[in-house]
């Protein structure tokens, strides 16, 4: 992960105004769980709920995933047939 590029993205004030607190929390969580290679990672659904709260369900995840992808931050695969969420941090 290019930490300089990530820092530039995270310090853009207009970005934070456009994202909900839930979306920001999810994005930061994904940054924490990203693997070392190719900016990809995976997270178990139980871990996601543990970190973001029991009210965070698939509906919230899909909405947040759409928003984060529209800002070219992350692509999330939230297939309901899998207990893992796979994601890739996108390069801006």
User: 72 near 18, Cβ under 8 Å?
Assistant: no
Tokens of 37: 């290679």
Residues 30-88 have pLDDT tens digits of 888 887 667 888 888 888 888 988 888 888 888 999 999 998 889 998 765 568 888 99
Residue 8, pLDDT score: 74
- pTM surpassing 0.75? yes
Q: What is the pLDDT of residue 33?
A: 85
Cα 80 to chain centroid distance, Å, stands at 17
Contacts of 76 (CB under 8 A, 6+ apart): 30, 61, 64, 65, 68, 69, 85, 86, 87
Read off the DSSP letter of residue 73: S
Averaged pLDDT for residues 2-26: 79
């Amino acid at each position: 992960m290019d930490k300089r590029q990530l820092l530039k993205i995270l310090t853009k004030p207009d970005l934070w105004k456009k994202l909900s607190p839930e979306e920001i929390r999810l994005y930061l969580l994904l940054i924490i769980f990203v693997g070392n290679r190719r900016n990809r990672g995976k997270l178990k659904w139980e871990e996601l709920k543990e970190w973001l709260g029991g009210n965070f369900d698939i509906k919230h995840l899909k909405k947040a995933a759409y928003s984060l992808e529209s800002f070219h931050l992350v692509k999330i695969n939230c297939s309901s047939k899998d207990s893992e969420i796979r994601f890739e941090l996108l390069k801006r």
